[in-house]
Amino acid sequence: MIESVIRRREMLSQTPLFAAVPASLLDELAAKTRTIRVSAREQLFTKGDPGDRLYLVAQGVIRISALSPEGREVTYGLIKAGELFGEIAVLDGGRRSADATALEPSELLALDRRDVVDFIDRHPALALHLLRVLCERLRRADDLLEDVVFLSLPGRLAKHLLVLAGTLSSREAPDSAPTIRLSQQELADHLGISRESVNKVLSKWEQAGMVTLGRGQITVNGLDALEALAQPAS
């Protein structure tokens, strides 16, 4: 739990965006942040909302997504502890470009837009760090587009399961298979495809021993096999 300005300062200093900020300014910034706690599946904002805050994930995972014209959700990225989100609308003063939803109980630091803008005005070097964050977002968008173009549906599913295994899984022991606590419908929503398509692929993988399906969860037994499937065909 983040109960003090000192703890918030530590969180900010461990974030690449604020790592080079002088201590005095970091203390001032930490004093202006607020702690927000959200439950699993709680939505922070939706596409079109005002971009009034910048967020830093202290604990948990936040899913950035949007609805396709057909009404299906597409995941743009999963934001983990130590990472920022919500920066685009905060910087340009526009509306939110996507939805943000907690995938598990999460704790965030929130900074109002006016404080972010004022801080950049007084510490211009921060703008360069923000550009790096935006470039990373652009690279992720490029990767998403490449996956849609070059990977089959099983390949996309395999790649996403690998990401989830590293961010949203639990293990009974350090060397045990990771278990992802998501339903097949939620997994389908992440990729913007139908539940039937996901179930068809997962059922084949279960028969092959690659995964074990349970109620609202998927245990990944064959990480190497998924790694192979997640590679574009040569």
Query: What is the count of structural domains for the chain?
Result: 2
pLDDT of amino acid 148: 76
pLDDT of amino acid 5: 81
Residues 144 and 111 in one domain: yes
Flag residues of the chain having pLDDT under 50. Answer: 1-2, 173
pLDDT of amino acid 170: 62
Say which CATH number the domain at 92 has.
Answer: 2.60.120.10
For 82-98, the pLDDT digits (tens) are 888 998 888 888 999 99
Domain that holds residue 75: 1-148
pLDDT of amino acid 16: 73
pLDDT of amino acid 155: 92
Single out the residue in 128, 148, 168 at which a domain terminates: 148
State pTM to two decimals. Answer: 0.77
Single out the residue in 148, 173, 202 at which a domain terminates: 148
pLDDT of amino acid 1: 45
Angle between the N-to-C axes of helices 125-150 and 153-167, in degrees from 0 to 180, rounded to the nearest 10: 140
Q: Which residue has the tokens 């003063």?
A: 93
pLDDT of amino acid 218: 93
Residues 97 and 35 in one domain: yes
Average pLDDT, the chain: 86
Residues 104 and 13 in one domain: yes
Residues 85 and 176 in one domain: no
Count of CB atoms situated within 10 Å of the CB of 165 = 19
Residues 161 and 123 in one domain: no
Residues 136 and 160 in one domain: no
pLDDT of amino acid 101: 96
Single out the residue in 88, 123, 148 at which a domain terminates: 148
Residues 76 and 131 in one domain: yes
